[in-house]
Amino acid sequence: MKMKLKEQEDYYWTDQGFKVFTESYHLKRGYCCESGCRHCPYGYDPKTNSQ
């Protein structure tokens, strides 16, 4: 089942037109995707490829 996203709570838009997921969204999703997300609550570091 797909999660219904709420703007500002789950994501916001940058001035450049990119959708950015919030920490709240990542916590609802429940896992790290290891993509180096801006608001990752899981502590993933793309430079070292570790959490």
Give the Cβ contact number of residue 22 at 10 Å. Answer: 19
Predicted local confidence at residue 27, as pLDDT: 96
Q: How far apart are the C-alpha atoms of 50 and 15, rounded to whole Å?
A: 30
Predicted local confidence at residue 1, as pLDDT: 61
Helix H segments across 1-51? 23-29
Q: What angle do CA 48, 18, 9 make, to 5 degrees?
A: 90
For the chain, the structural domain boundaries read 1-51
The share of the chain scoring above pLDDT 90, in percent, equals 82
Predicted local confidence at residue 3, as pLDDT: 81
pLDDT in tens, 13-29: 999 999 999 999 999 99
SS3 percent helix, strand, coil of the chain, rounded to 5, is 15, 20, 70
